Chains A and B, each alone.
Chain A
Amino acid sequence: MNNSLVELNNCGVFRNQKWLVRGVSLKVSQGEIVTLIGPNGSGKSTTAKMSLDILKPDEGTNTIKKDIRISYVPQKISIDWSLPLRSIDFVNLVTKHKTSEINDALGITGIQHLINEDVRNLSGGEFQRLLMARAIAKEPHFLVLDEPVQGVDYSGEIALYKTIQEIVKKINCGILLISHNLHVVMSQTDYVICLNGHVCCSGIPSSVIKDQEYIKLFGSNIDPTLSLYKHNHDHHHLPDGSIKEADKNK
C-alpha cells in the first residue's frame, strides 16, 4: 500500500434530507500538512470527522491506516462546571503520560506553568494551547486540528503555527488542519482544499512574501509563517448553496 495515513475517496454525509458535504477526496501522508478552508457550514468539520471515523460517510469510503496513533483537537470543547479538572488531568485524558512527557508537551505550547491549574481558570488562548499540548503529548502519527487558532490574536496565531511546524519537524506526523481564513494559510502547508459543500478547488499555496499584490496590500513585513492561497473556482454558489455552473454557456 502507499504511505498515506488517511484517505477519503469521494465521501459524502447525508443528514436531515440534505448533503452536508459530498464528493470529497483527500489524502494525508506522513510529514504532510493538508489545510481545509471554506466558509461557515461548508463541511470542513464534517470532513475532518470522516477522516477520524467519528462520522461514517453515507457515500464513498474512508480509509485509515491500521494501528496509528491519532490526536484530535476539536473545534469546541466546553468543560462542565461540575468537573474538577486540572491541565495535567486533561493531558492524561485518553493516554496516561509520564510527568516529563507532559512537561515537554506543555513546554512546547508555552503553558508549562499552568500544569496544576484548574482548566476552567484558563483563558481561551491558554485552553487552545492546552488542547494542542494534549494532542502532541501522544506523539501522534495523524493529527487533526479543527480551527486551532480560533480566539487567538494575530501574534498568538503565528506562534501557534510555528508550534505546529515544530511538531511536524519533531514527530513527523501527518496533519489535517482546518482554517476559517479563506486566503491566508500556514506556509508549511503542502496542499490546500477549499470546501463549500463539495471541493471547490484545491492546490498548492503561494508564498506571501513573493506575492506582489499582497505586499502592496500589507507591506513587506508580513510574517513568513503565513502563505496566500489563490482560489481557482470554475463555478458560483447561489445564496441557497446550490451551484451555478460558470461554464454553463459552453
Chain B
Amino acid sequence: MFDDFIIRAFVAGIGLALITGPLGCFIIWRRLSYFGDTIAHSALLGVVIAYAMNFNLIIAVFAVSCFIALSLLFLQKRTNLPDDALLGLLAHSVLAIGLVLLGILSFIRIDLMGLLFGDILSVNITDVLFVWVGGSIVLIVLILIWRPLFAATVNLELAKAEGLNADLANAIFTILIASVIAISIKIVGILLITGLLIIPAAASRNLSSTPIQMAIISSVIGLVSVVLGLQTSMIWNSPTGPTILAITLGVFILSLIPLKKLLISKKKIELSN
C-alpha cells in the first residue's frame, strides 16, 4: 500500500500535522514564531552538510537546528540584546554560511525549490518512518514535559519557585522544535514550516477555551488542511505545500466568525419576538 506515492504523501502529511498542532500552540503562547523561522533558515546549512558528507538529511538538519537552538539559549544569557535581534543575527548569519559552503562545494546540486517549499509527493518510505517514529517521540516527550513547560509559559519565576524544572523543560522544548523542523523539511520545506506550526494553532485559538482543547483542535485543523490541500493540489495541479498552507489560512478565516455570539444574539432575537 505504501508503494503509491499519493498514499505516502497522505500518511506523512497527516503525521506531521498531528505534531505541529500542539507544538504550534506553545510557539504562539511563548511568542516564538520568529524562532521557528530562524531554525528553519539555518536548516539550509544542515542540508549542505548532509549533501557534502553524504549523510542522512533529516539527522544533519536536526543536528544543526539543535546547535542553533542551544546557541540562542547561550546568547540570551550572555548578551543584553533583545530576542528578536539575536534570532535575526542567527538566522541570517547561518543562512549566509550555508550559502557560502554551497558555493564552495560546487559539486553539490540541490533542488532549491524543493528545499524551500518541500515536495510531499517525493517522500519515500524512510521519510514516512521518520515522521511517524520521530513524531511519536516528540509527542510523548511533549506530554511528559507538559506541566513544567506550560507553567513556565504562563510565568517562569512562579514555575521555578514552586520546584518545577522550568529551564530543563525550555531546553527540551527547543530541541523538539528543532526535530519537527528537521522532519518537515522534505514535506513542506523551510519557508513554509513556520506557517504549518502557527496558522492551525492561531485558528484553534479562536475556537477553544482551554489550553488542551487548543492543542487538540490545532492538530485536527492541521489534519483537515493536509487532506484537503493534497486533494486540491491534485485537482488543480498546484504545488502541494503552498496549497496546504492556503487551506490552513482558509480555516483561520472561518475561525474568525464568532459562532457563539451569533447563536446567542439569534436566541435573544427569538426571545424578544
Contacts and interface: CB of A to CB of B under 8 A. Distances in A.
Interface string B155-167: 1011111111000
Interface stretch (A24-32, A76-84, A183-191, A236-244): A76-84
Interface in B142-165: 147, 150-151, 153-155, 157-164
Interface in B167-217: 205, 208-211, 213-214
B210 A84 contact: yes
B29 A83 contact: yes
A229 interface: no
Given A52-B157, A86-B210, A94-B158, 18 more contacts: A52-B161, A71-B162, A74-B158, A74-B161, A80-B29, A82-B205, A83-B29, A83-B153, A83-B154, A84-B205, A85-B210, A89-B211, A93-B150, A94-B151, A94-B163, A95-B162, A96-B147, A144-B161
Interface of A: 49, 52-54, 70-72, 74, 77, 79-80, 82-86, 89-90, 93-96, 118, 138, 144
A99 to B, nearest CB: 15
Contacts of A94: 147, 151, 158-159, 162-164
Most buried by A among B29, B154, B164: B154
Q: Would you call the interface of chain A mostly helix, strand, loop, or mixed?
A: loop
10 contacts: A54-B157, A74-B158, A82-B29, A84-B205, A84-B209, A89-B210, A93-B150, A94-B159, A96-B147, A144-B161
A53 B164 CA distance: 12
B155 A74 contact: yes
Contacts of B208: 84
B35 to A, nearest CB: 15
Nearest to B31: A80
Given A77-B154, A84-B209, A94-B151, A54 B161 contact: yes
Nearest to A73: B158
Interface residues of B, number: 24
Most chain-A CB neighbours within 10 Å: which of B158, B208, B213, B214?
Answer: B158
Q: Is the interface of B mostly helix, strand, loop or mixed?
A: helix
Nearest to A81: B205
Contact of A83 (B147, B162, B211): B211
B160 A54 contact: yes
Q: B153, B161, B211 — which one has the most chain A CB atoms within 10 A of its CB? A: B161
Contacts of B123: none
The 6 closest A-B pairs by CB, nearest first: A72-B161, A52-B161, A94-B162, A82-B28, A54-B160, A93-B151
Contacts of A95: 162
A52 B208 CA distance: 34
Contacts of A77: 154-155, 158
